[in-house]
Structure 1
Amino acid sequence: MQTTRLALLGGAAMALASSAYAGGVERSNQGIDFLFEQGTYVELGFGRLDPDVSGEVVQPGFGNANSGNMLGGENVFSLSYKQDLGENFVVGLKLDKPVGATIRYPSGTGHPFAGSVADLESEELTAYLMYKFSNGFSVVGGLRAQQVEGDVFLASTQYDLTTNNDREYGYMLGVAYEKPEIALRVSLTYSSAIDHTFSASEAAIIPVAGVGNVPVSREGDFDTTIPQSVNLAFQTGIAEDTLLFGSIRWVDWSEFNINPSLYDQIIQGASGGFSYPLASYQSDTITYKLGIGRRFNENWSGAVTLIHEPESGDIFGNLGPIDGRDAIALGVTYSNDRFKISGGVEYSRLGDAESQTPFGAPGTAISDFTDNSSISYGIRIGYYF
């Protein structure tokens, strides 16, 4: 059983160019599989996320209101390049989208967030250097340059936030072991947290007793951390032309918090002193993946992957009301001597979540987001030089 014959299966297994809604805003699992491709290799990936997420808010004394589908469709991408330097060294570059969000609350629903929108955009470039030992082990390190920016508009208070495109740096470290005769590979990687300080412009209209609606604004900075993560991935041949693969990924999402100063002042004033960040998570996330790939002939292979992210039971923000998920992904790959083309689709049942509308004390104006789902699909095109 040769690694080159089973390499088709890995492409089919990982055909999607995204990590759909893992941790709410994560869009890349920071995988290093492309570094193990044969020879010089370049890969371009595109993906699309199409969610259907809605919830009903319970407003004591005002009746209930449904949010409508509040998550917009989103595109993701990746571009990877790998080259051998002699027998032991490998260099690589990867450009992708580490985090993202597209929030679109429909207008006229009666929901407290009706008409509100938010966008989170990012890009990350990672440069890798791997050293392969003669006993199957290898070590890898990388430097990461990450750009993030965002904007928010909350219709109820006419709150408007825009930030600069902030660039900061981090790193990754990893170790791997391969046994090609049984198509075995295990890798463990760590990606550091990256701290961003955004220059923000905030504006809103707030009611003042005896005066009426008063416009307010603020220019200033606030901090946000894109969290650290650990990824354990494996694959192994279990029969002729059949591969078992999977991963366990932990992300420190409890360190993620977006809470600009003027927004926090407005919310505390409207809720009697309680603070509700624009976006935050109370718990970390662990995502499990397990799949089987099968090579059908010299050119075609396919794979199926099961994905589970446990629910936390936490109260979520209104810009990311998703608590865990269960998903199935199907992938297929066509390959010849030069090209590898992979396509895939993933269907996710998104976990039920509760969110606290930030205009009252805890326990009031709770939104229940239930029976939600997402379809993701993507294509990757690889070329061997």
Structure 2
Amino acid sequence: MKTIMTSAIALAVGAGAAHAGGIERSNNDYGFLFTRNDQVQLSFSHVMPELSGTYTADLTALGGGESSTGNMQNNYTNYSFAYKNDLNEKFTLGMYVNNPYGAGSEYTQGVYAGLTADWDSDQVALVGKYRVTDRVSVFAGARYVESNAEITIPDLLVRSAVGRNAQGLGAQAQALGAEAQALGAQAQAAGAAGDLATAQALGAQAQSLGAQAQALGAQAQGLGAAAQDFGTSMEYNASGSRVGDWGAILGVAYEIPDIALRVALSWQSEITHNFRTSETIDGLGINTTSGETKVTMPQSVALDFQSGIAPGTLLFGQIKWVEWSKWEVRTPEYENVTGGNVTGFESDSVTWKLGVGRAFTEDLSGFVQVTYEAQNGDTASRLSPRDGFTSFGVGGQYKMDNMTLRGGIEYVWLGDAEDASGVKFEDNTALGVGLSLTVDF
């Protein structure tokens, strides 16, 4: 029974979440290290989101009367490989190959038409588990993640961002100019009173602030003029060349095998990518390939648990925290002309999962599970415009000699969200399906 119930957990994890926090697409299932026998597992998942938004009246007018963004999220497919080998009674070695992060946004209707973003990644992780006692195990390892990204932001969105930045810079220039004038007046007063040292110091400060105000004013004027020049394109294109970096994995688990109880706490460190970045905005004369963009792939902590609750029945679940608030794409040239980042997330995510696995026969078992991520009310990223989600998944497995075939389906209700322009993304869903084949040897 323990083998069947452990397999139900593997099925639940391997079915493929139709959506998760941030841009996460797959996980390393460290419960795989606790399965019996040496194993190879091949998995496949396919996700079909239906994610669209409704423009405000002003944006609808700018977009030629189109009131909907259309479905902006592309379908995607993940493939993964896992290998486990019990080197002896104490030590187990595991390897994972998968696509941990990804994004595929493509707006085709209205004012956002032409806004596209792609993030691709591949991961290889090696993990060793050591059985300290019959009930306590520790595991640790390293993961290597390679990523690359591309984004296109259409003319009107860039133009409006540049215009807002020009206004902000102009306001800063005015404030600095006023401060410089006040210091100048103080310097004159000190000079008239015979305090030449103070007058000289205040005059130097006034001169410095005046120079800063003049520079900001010139920048604001140039950006403002460019934003009003509709004879040139302000479309923004950027790409980050493929880069790979390392992260750490640590975990500890407690088991009571007789009742199929296991509680495991795992941590994955953050990974920092430094992308060599190419950026172009023709209307501003920007065409550079020498930029560098630092992007932090967030750390995570997961608590997994399972326990037998009746003969042939297993309760399982997970609580996972991911520090998505540290993830943002802030390219140098785009920040210089707009004053902001390309995209990012404001808050961390906490995802809850609870399910039940049931063995119907020695060869056939299945599961149901519910996953929940609360809404946080943040301004939505146009890369992933939803706020939390609730999903329901079902699946089953069939064992044939030394092979086990698993399959599952998950339906997701995506949380309503609103982006910085007031576009509302409501009543959206996603559907995910997964298959896996495990071979014992």
Q: Normalized against structure 1, the TM-score is what?
A: 0.90
Matched AA of 1:295: A
Q: Any idea what the Cα deviations from partners look like across 1:248-299, whole Å, max 9, x if unmatched? A: 000000000101112223434xxxxxx2x22211110000000011111121
1:224 and 1:59 map into 2 onto residues whose CA distance is 35
Residue 218 in 1 paired to residue 220 in 2?
no
> SS state of the match for residue 35, structure 1?
helix
Shift of 1:158: 2.2
Matched AA of 1:101: A
Shift of 1:11: 3.2
> SS state of the match for residue 336, structure 2?
helix
> SS state of the match for residue 165, structure 1?
strand
2:297 and 2:58 map into 1 onto residues whose CA distance is 36
Residue 259 in 1 paired to residue 261 in 2?
no
Shift of 1:61: 7.8
Does the CA-based 8 Å contact 2:60-2:110 persist in structure 1? no
Aligned residue runs from structure 1 range 45-64, under 5 A = 45-58=43-56, 60=58, 63=61
Does the CA-based 8 Å contact 1:12-1:343 persist in structure 2? yes
2:60 and 2:144 map into 1 onto residues whose CA distance is 48
Shift of 1:327: 0.3
> Residue 209 of structure 2 corresponds to which residue in structure 1?
none
> Residue 66 of structure 1 corresponds to which residue in structure 2?
68
Whichever structure has more helix as a proportion of its residues is 2
Which of the residues 224, 239, 243 maps onto 1:162? 239
> SS state of the match for residue 423, structure 2?
strand
Shift of 1:134: 2.5
Residue 116 in 1 paired to residue 115 in 2?
yes
Shift of 1:59: 5.1
> Residue 214 of structure 2 corresponds to which residue in structure 1?
none
> Residue 355 of structure 2 corresponds to which residue in structure 1?
291
> Residue 197 of structure 2 corresponds to which residue in structure 1?
none
1:61 and 1:50 map into 2 onto residues whose CA distance is 27
* Count of residue pairs the alignment pairs up: 358
2:243 and 2:78 map into 1 onto residues whose CA distance is 19
> Residue 248 of structure 1 corresponds to which residue in structure 2?
319
Does the CA-based 8 Å contact 2:276-2:293 persist in structure 1? yes
Does the CA-based 8 Å contact 2:84-2:93 persist in structure 1? yes
Q: Any idea what the Cα deviations from partners look like across 1:204-228, whole Å, max 9, x if unmatched? A: 233xxxxxxx542122101000000
1:87 and 1:279 map into 2 onto residues whose CA distance is 48
Does the CA-based 8 Å contact 1:345-1:377 persist in structure 2? yes
Does the CA-based 8 Å contact 1:278-1:317 persist in structure 2? no
Gapped regions of structure 2 (runs ≥ 5): 156-233
Does the CA-based 8 Å contact 2:9-2:357 persist in structure 1? yes
2:244 and 2:13 map into 1 onto residues whose CA distance is 28
Cα–Cα, structure 1 residues 294 and 204, in superposed 2: closer, same or farther, change >3 Å? same
2:382 and 2:59 map into 1 onto residues whose CA distance is 21
Shift of 1:86: 1.1
Shift of 1:302: 0.7
Residue 189 in 1 paired to residue 266 in 2?
yes
Matched AA of 1:201: S
> Residue 374 of structure 2 corresponds to which residue in structure 1?
310
Q: Any idea what the Cα deviations from partners look like across 1:225-249, whole Å, max 9, x if unmatched? A: 0000000001111001001000000
> SS state of the match for residue 56, structure 1?
coil
Aligned residue runs from structure 1 range 1-385, under 5 A = 2-16=1-15, 18-58=16-56, 60=58, 63=61, 65-106=67-108, 109-111=109-111, 113-156=112-155, 157-206=234-283, 214-219=284-289, 220-268=291-339, 275=340, 277-356=341-420, 365-385=421-441
Shift of 1:80: 0.4
Q: Any idea what the Cα deviations from partners look like across 1:108-140, whole Å, max 9, x if unmatched? A: x322x2122111000111101110022310000
More displaced, 56-65 or 3-12? 56-65
> SS state of the match for residue 29, structure 1?
coil
Shift of 1:316: 1.6
Does the CA-based 8 Å contact 2:10-2:31 persist in structure 1? no
Does the CA-based 8 Å contact 1:15-1:332 persist in structure 2? no
1:351 and 1:103 map into 2 onto residues whose CA distance is 17
1:342 and 1:267 map into 2 onto residues whose CA distance is 49
Q: Normalized against structure 2, the TM-score is what?
A: 0.79
Whichever structure has more strand as a proportion of its residues is 1
Does the CA-based 8 Å contact 1:253-1:285 persist in structure 2? yes
Q: Any idea what the Cα deviations from partners look like across 1:54-110, whole Å, max 9, x if unmatched? A: 11122548637311100000111211000011110000110111110011111xx32
2:139 and 2:381 map into 1 onto residues whose CA distance is 37
> SS state of the match for residue 57, structure 1?
coil
Cα–Cα, structure 1 residues 85 and 61, in superposed 2: closer, same or farther, change >3 Å? closer
- Structure 1 or 2, whichever has the larger Rg, is 2
> Residue 362 of structure 1 corresponds to which residue in structure 2?
none
1:73 and 1:354 map into 2 onto residues whose CA distance is 22
> SS state of the match for residue 32, structure 2?
helix
Matched AA of 1:226: M
> SS state of the match for residue 21, structure 1?
coil
Q: Any idea what the Cα deviations from partners look like across 1:289-325, whole Å, max 9, x if unmatched? A: 0001111112111100001000010002211111100
Matched AA of 2:78: V
Does the CA-based 8 Å contact 2:13-2:29 persist in structure 1? no
Does the CA-based 8 Å contact 1:83-1:90 persist in structure 2? yes
Does the CA-based 8 Å contact 2:17-2:432 persist in structure 1? no
Task: Report runs of 4+ in structure 1 exceeding 6 Å deviation.
Answer: none
Shift of 1:168: 0.4
Q: Any idea what the Cα deviations from partners look like across 1:128-178, whole Å, max 9, x if unmatched? A: 111002231000001111101011112323211111111000111000111
